[in-house]
Amino acid sequence: MNASQPLEKAVPIPVRGHATLYIVIGLICCIVSLLIFAQLVDGVSENEFIVQIDVALANALHSVATAGSTSAFELISLFGGTILFGWSLLVGLIFVWKRQWLGLIIWTITIVGGEVLNSILKLFFARPRPTFATPLVIERFYSFPSGHAMMSFIAYGMLAYIICLMLKNNAQRLLVILATGFIVVIIGVSRIALGVHYLSDVLAGYSVAALWLITCIMTWRLIHSRRAARSATA
């Protein structure tokens, strides 16, 4: 793919031909993600069973934590924070280098919009973080939803989508998706193991991230589809 060729041209022809089907599937996924988030919000706000699971899991993980496991989870957590920020910037620079302006705009909106959305939700729900007599890690901002879980899902998810666009082998695409899923899950686990988030914080982060990521991908595809249709009739 040369620098002047739109990234979307890498999408196989059969996939482009089923754009409507993918939009419908995307909308269904968005609705499911929203319903999951709503259930989590209701459970946390009403102090339901999920809160008991949150506390029990947080206490159990804190009781078995060691210096070695804490260091390992702190390193993993960086991939949802500082390291994620660094390579997000790198991906943006690659778009600039290749002059893929639509990709750059969507990538920027996806990452920056996700950060803004997470901050708004944290301020709105203002849920205190887990507290321990001897905390492993101290975080100052609110807990719900988890920013690391949410942003890792969004950023790694969008990167996986971009990589899959450039791959022609379905087995390779599946490998990318599975690897991405593992990375996102282990980052979420690290936040719970470090005692800075509850399980429901992480699950809420994933659900909102799925909603935002799918919306951004669908927007990208719709813009490209309209451009392609306009070019065909020109």
Which fold does the domain 10-233 belong to in CATH?
Vanadium-containing Chloroperoxidase; domain 1 (1.20.144)
61, 224 Cβ separation under 8 angstroms: no
Domain ranges of the chain: 10-233
Give the chain's mean pLDDT: 87
- Under DSSP, the state recorded for 134 is S
Instruction: With a cut of 80, say whether residue 212 has pLDDT above it.
Output: yes
Q: What pLDDT does residue 149 have?
A: 96
pLDDT digits (tens, 9 = 90+) for 147-191: 999 999 999 999 999 999 888 888 999 999 999 999 999 999 999
Tokens encoding 184:
């996102």
Cis check for the bond before 14: say yes or no (omega within 30 of 0): no
Q: What pLDDT does residue 48 have?
A: 79
Beta strands (DSSP E) in the chain are: none
pLDDT digits (tens, 9 = 90+) for 106-155: 999 999 999 999 999 999 999 999 988 888 888 888 999 999 999 999 99
Q: What pLDDT does residue 103 have?
A: 86
Instruction: With a cut of 80, say whether residue 4 has pLDDT above it.
Output: no
Q: Helix H segments across 47-134?
A: 49-63, 67-78, 82-97, 101-125
